[in-house]
Structure 1
Amino acid sequence: MERILIASSLFLSITIVFCMIRAIKGPLAADRLIAVNVIGTKTIILISLISFVLHETYFIDVVLVYALISFIGSIGIADLIDK
């Protein structure tokens, strides 16, 4: 079971790199915003998987804080794009 979770973590890490490339190259600001949102979501899932593999519950608190910061950042960036 742990091998599957580790493989999933590696796959998520690779897809995060691809999303970073899209965030850098994105021709439109909306493309960059979506890429940043996807990176935030995948990072939340990655931290949750690591928490499950290591049997550490305090990572869940980190996930909640990271989700809130990601949400507030996304709203701030969307507000800048709108102007």
Structure 2
Amino acid sequence: MLNGETVILDTVLIITFAALSLSLVAGMIRLLIGPSLPDRVVALDLIAYIVIAFIATYCIHTGTSDFIDAAIVVALIAFLGTTAFARYVLKAGRPSTNDEI
């Protein structure tokens, strides 16, 4: 039974890597073509989370947890980047107090 389970797991991992690769290509296309800045930021965020999924899938494939720390770092950087962009868009919508004088 163990042999059948490893065949199924290997098949699922190959399908997962293929789906993640297609998603990464789609995200790159949106990043390059994106008509507006928010579209490009969302695409960059998507790419970061696809990279996290690649790292997690690779860890499952190899049976080690060596790169989980890297996935956590990528997730934190992606979150901070998205938060910084949201703050930038929020500030750009209204004038600062120095502009009114």
TM-score, length basis structure 1 = 0.87
1:68 aligns with 2:76: yes
> Root-mean-square deviation (CA), in Å?
1.4
1: CA distance between counterparts of 2:87 and 2:24? 24
User: Partner of 1:32 in structure 2?
Assistant: 40
Q: Which residue of 1 aligns with 2:54?
A: 46
Q: Which amino acid aligns with 1:77?
A: F
Structure with greater contact order relative to length (CA < 8 Å, sep ≥ 6): 1
Q: Quick check: which one's helix share is greater?
A: 1
User: Is contact 1:44–1:63 with CA below 8 Å preserved after alignment?
Assistant: yes
What are structure 2's unaligned runs of at least 5 residues? Answer: 1-8, 93-101
Q: Which amino acid aligns with 1:38?
A: L
Residue of structure 2 in register with 1:59 after alignment = 67
| Structure 1 residue 15 corresponds to structure 2 residue 23 | yes
Q: Is the 1:51–1:59 contact (alpha carbons within 8 Å) kept by the matching residues of 2?
A: yes
Instruction: Report percent identity of matched pairs.
Output: 31
Q: Which runs of 5+ in 1 are unaligned?
A: none
Runs (4+) off by over 4 Å:
none
